[in-house]
A and B are shown apart, each in its own frame.
Chain A
Amino acid sequence: MNFPILSSLILLPSVGALFLFFTKSNKKNNFTVKYVALFTSAANFFLSIYLWILFDQSTSEFQFVEQRVWIKDFINYKVGVDGISILFILLTTFITPLCIISVNNSIKERLSEFLIAVLIMESFMIGVFCSLDLVIFYLFFEAGLIPMFLIIGIWGGARRVYSAFKFFLYTLLGSVLMLVAIITIYWLNGTTDVIELYKSGVDIKYQNLLWLAFFSSFAVKTPMWPVHTWLPDAHVEAPTAGSVLLAAILLKMAGYGFIRFSLGLFPAASEIFTPLIYILSVIAIIFTSFIALMQEDMKKLIAYSSVAHMGYVTLGIFTIQQQGIEGSIIQMISHGLVSAALFLCVGVVYDRMHSRLINTYGGIVSIIPKYSILFMIFTLAALGLPGTSGFVGEFLILMGAFKDNFLVAVIASIGVIIGAAYMLWLYKRVVFGKLINIDLKQMVDLNRSELFILSCLAIPTLFFGFYPDPLINTIEVSISDLIDQYNFELAGKL
């Protein structure tokens, strides 16, 4: 394999951004600017599809590995994918073009700067998912803060400054401890190469502290209760495309990190801290679901529902069962599609009415029927109706949880009911009911691009709901090997 396909995936959006940088942005060539960005990200998407086709599902080895000396005798630039990471790359390259299409209505000024930020963000996120060196991983993981800070701060809503600062400082504070841990691992093992570290393992004496350091970073990013408070603020203030990126991809970096690093590198510590994760996850599921129930702002409601959904993900990961981890990954993919779609749905009505409050709306089903149908699909997917991808994920996670800890699984199942309650109630209040607000009558239904974006998201949501095999086949071997390795290390160490 000579063609450096992963590096191309990382670099291509940045090249597009560089091109945009040299294109003067004004009213006239907004069109060109947008199509350049769209073209780059679409090309990236097809490249990643090609990657998926070439991908060998029968092995858990890392594929398409590229290695170059970066800092001599210290760090190698090393990238590669296995079954776990490839789906996240696909998700990233799939969501980004949709984000770019969606800027039509929401971003009025400094369009080309916005697209540059989005494209650079895409580069960084792909980098996170395919880096096989801890330092490179950290680099991409942290670098993503810069474009996201600017996206929230420049193009956000009224309290954007507060939210941008909160987002940045929260995540930075979480991550610095991870940097200490990474350097410590280098000091202990003499390498930060993930494959080498998988082979050699990390000294058991240090595992607990290292695990906590990584946890501090991932917990903030996931976000887990009680450090989730930045998320609702960031979501509410970010422009629609920013919320979509944040919910669909940024949050997944932490879930991915838990599987790749917490489980892979520190099995003994993961075993010790599983109860902690269970408790925090269950609190996240139940507690934030209740909070979501009481929200009056649609975006905030979806943000809290994201926290609850990520609670399932962390729960599933730390069951260390085949079903649990598979479920977590599918839940992340599904949440990526569904939350992106829900934020876009909110964006659609916000662009028309400039209000995100639920009580502004009501009875719009007869005015904008197409919107109502698509919104319904995503609502049902979010609450995990069988036949949608949300169901597959939640079902597998709960199955894994029942195998591991009955009580936790029962409590988490209750969360499903509350989840259904707040999503359905949201849908009822927005779409059904009496049409009280007369301004709503002037709303126009989805235009072509909105219809296109939402259908693009609806198709995989339903498809993977009925037929999740393509996803499961991709991740199956990698996960079973991960679990074998985990149990093997554990047996050797305890």
Chain B
Amino acid sequence: MTSLNLLAMVSLGYVSILFAVAFWADRMALRGRGARFMGSPLIYTLSLSIYCTAWTFYGAVGYAARSGMEYITIYLGPTLVMIGWWWGLRKLVRVGRSQRISSIADLLSARYGKSNVLAIGVTLLAVVGVTPYIALQLQSITLSVSIFAAADPTRSYNETGTVFWIASGLACFAILFGTRNLNANERHHGVVMAVALEAVVKLIALVAVGIFVVWGLAGGVSQTLARIDASPLGEWQVNGGRWTAITFLAAAAFVCLPRMFQVMVVENEDERHLRIAAWAFPTYLLLISIFVVPIAALGLELLPQGSNPDLFVLTLPLSQGENGLAMLSFLGGFSSATSMVIVAAMSLSTMVSNHIVMPIWLRSTDAFGGASVSGDVRSVVLFARRFSIAAIMALGYAYYQISGGGAALAAIGLISFSGISQILPALVGGLFWRGATRAGALAGLFVGFSLWGYTLLLPEVAGGVFSASTLAEGPFGLAWLRPQALFGIEGLDPIVHCVLWSMSLNVLAFCLVSVLSFPSPMERLQGAQFVHVFDHSAGPGGWTGSVAQSEDLMIMSQRILGPQEAQSFFQAAADRQGGQGALPEPTPAFLEQLERELSASIGAAAAHAMIGQIVSGAAVSVEDLLAVADESAQLLEYSSRLEAQSLELSRTARQLRETNQKLTQLSEQKDAFLSQVSHELRTPMTSVRAFSEILRDDWGLRPEEQHKYASIIHDEALRLTRLLNDLLDLSVLESGQVTLHVSRRRLSDVLDHAMSSALAGAESELKVVRDRKTEAIELETDVDRLSQVFINLIANAQKYCTAPDPKLQIGVTFEEQVIHVDLQDNGDGIPADFEKVIFEKFSRVTPERAGGAGLGLAICREIMRRLGGDISLLPRQGGAGFRVTLPIQTKIEEIL
């Protein structure tokens, strides 16, 4: 008989080997060696075998002994997933890599807009779901030890103490190798290697027991089959509902269990490994499950009634005196239990520390006003993880102590499975349905977990919570709320009942709320990133070696900085590092330097994202993208602002140029005007001065000469006055400050007045021809101003018309909106070269004939414009012709 001492020594030795392997693997990984072996599909496939826990190792036989072939479903689920849904797993792995996902809670949180609530929820649910599972492992180890203890009466066996020490040891292992570093992207090579070794051990152990049973005890395959037929196993009927439900649960748990997610996604080195694992892992499952039925059948047959079928794997060799085989078997079970516990504790601790402990710690330090120093945070995170591992282990231990290890292993496992699988709708929906929202995920999880707790967890595990009457008649006597016959559906297996209700309502709530709620922009972006992960992320290749990275960085930098600058920058960095060749090692310092260099060209966010993409092999994160977008938006806005400003500047410049031209023109016009005014003033002044001097100096003038010269002085003085009046008049008209005195008068009256004024005193030969009938129009206008225009025109005709019988024809015509008064004389007309400037200031046909300074017509034009009309030359037809146009805007009444 194997003594407990020996068992303890073997166990310790085995654990030491595990420690050594894990330590060695970590060292190798640190030195960058052994990557090909440690990162191989073989190790990946073996690490997946943590799916096969002590439940599988011991419990499957027990399961088969109790329920026949149904245990197959536990293996069927993962097999179906690996073979039929490997592409979905590949998507999961790709998402995990590209988003740097650290756990399943992290994944769901990331998918649904970095939701903290969701992460906390999933974490809590995972802890609740997995704790019984950890307890289960502890229980299996205790049970197996107790078998040896029973066989070794020389020693008193302290069960509680054993479990405590085992739990502590496992916690130490997980802390040592699971929290060595922080980066979620770094793989836990030590743990994975140890897990792989344990996978081999448990397979060998179970296969060895199987071979011993089939060929050693039964005496061959055919005899074995015969004995199976003879055993109660052959009598078990297949329960279709349970089969479907459990297969589904196993498949869901395989994807959703935190430890499975850890090895399958987080520890994945290369997503191509999935292709090999897709057939290799089912093969492993086949090998480990193939001897379950023979062991169960022979255990039932050979071992005494009442023996725990969960321990047949151990007790069968022991009963045959095969102590060595029993020891191997024990190690297999030990391996199954420890590997599961370590990885589960590790993955749960990541979730607990990241989503619960750290947020609380950060908030509390914020409350104390302490700044989060980076070094501080690092040690806090490490402590949080280690503390979480210890806490989870303590929780499992406590659960084991409280539950008393009574329930069958398989039952606990299934309850755990159905709890964890509530995550599935939100997970699969998040991967394939962009419409899935955070609210939907929360609703589905809440509904699913509530129902799971109400219909399965509380009645089955903590049966004391519900009284017998509650179970039988429902709470408060509400029959339709009976935990195991919800809505009156009776007669179902509790598992099937739970899966049916929790999963269907979970999916329903998830879909319904998703459809009804609106995702935030972050959720939309993340949804697109997840669902279209293959369009966005880098290829399947793993991150290998630093030289390739430096090359990638070089290529990228060349594109941004230009080849020469990039090469000299890299060369300088390489020289500084003291290495050989032109490419520097991508040390953090170098990367930081490069990022700064690149930010100068493309902005900080873009530089960070690009370097991050190359260095970590991850796709650009949404925050990076948003930051880049923000930056580009700012740049865009800035440039459009600049553009607008430059447009405005050029417009202003053009306006300035135009204004300048106008000012120059005005200045020239002013000079010309002043020069003209000066000339017009000096001329009469000259005469006045000359003749006044002549009169003063007494040249002995005759009286008629005196009179003549005095008259000249007088005329010239009048001329000066006229000129000044005209200038003032024009200035007032041009400045627009003229006040119009509107009154009503007949056109004929206006013309009468103008004629008498213009022709008064002149020995007039001018004959004015008018048609008084057409002139009988009442005008409402500034009559004096209009009259001034007519006076000017009639006076001009009188002055300039040189015909022998000067004649001025005044005609009135009407047009749509205006009335025309045409004044046409029969003289020589206006010289052709003069027509263009006739209305300009100081323009005179000949000074000799003109009494004025050439301002008359300019004044006329200004007046007509003020009156809303115009004055123009009539086309040449003999004499000079002017057309005065008045608008009908001023009320005009025809009195005919």
Asked if A and B bind, the verdict is no
